[in-house]
Amino acid sequence: MRDSEAHNEHEVGAPVALYHGACPVCGVEVSHYQSYCTRENVALGWEDISSGTAAPVLDSLGIDREDAKRRMTVIASDGTVHRGVDAFIVLWGAMPRYCLLSRIVTVPGIYHLGALVYDYVLAPALYAWNRRSGR
């Protein structure tokens, strides 16, 4: 993946998504994924970074809470940290219903357009909205 860095503390196990649970949009989306994973017995971990309880995970990744609220973050099963569109690719790739979407988003052109839209439009707008709302 393009936007990743090695991380050694999460070497084994299922991917773990770090999400901003206080964000209404993020909460609804992640709740949908969690329900799907429970129904289909898909192994994914979920860590709500909106409260102080996620501090050890964020500290171990070298990411501060506000930075984590800016973009979706997923720790892959090999311990690699993925942010933004790369995080969604890992997340969707772990769920059979979304596997095809994961592959489509990796196509050059689609990937770059998706990254531009997410990184420069969607993620900043959502982050700003949450900040204005005190989340």
Q: Pick from 76, 95, 74: which is nearest to 11 by CA? A: 76
Task: List the Cα angle 87/75/7 in 5-degree steps.
Answer: 125
| Secondary structure E strands in 13-92 | 16-19, 45-48, 73-75, 81-83
Q: Which helix (H) or strand (E) holds 53?
A: none
Q: Based on the structure, what is the number of domains in the chain?
A: 1
Q: Pick from 85, 75, 91: which is nearest to 118 by CA? A: 85
CATH number at residue 47: 3.40.30
Report the pLDDT value the prediction gives residue 86, as an integer from 0 to 100: 98
Cβ atoms 10, 80 nearer than 8 A: no
Question: Is 73 strand, coil or helix?
Answer: strand
Report the pLDDT value the prediction gives residue 60, as an integer from 0 to 100: 85
Domain extent at residue 128: 4-132
Series of mean pLDDT values for 10-residue runs along the chain (135 residues): 38 82 94 96 92 77 89 93 96 96 97 97 96 91
Report the pLDDT value the prediction gives residue 121, as an integer from 0 to 100: 97
How far is it, in rounded angstroms, from Cα 108 to Cα 46?
A: 29
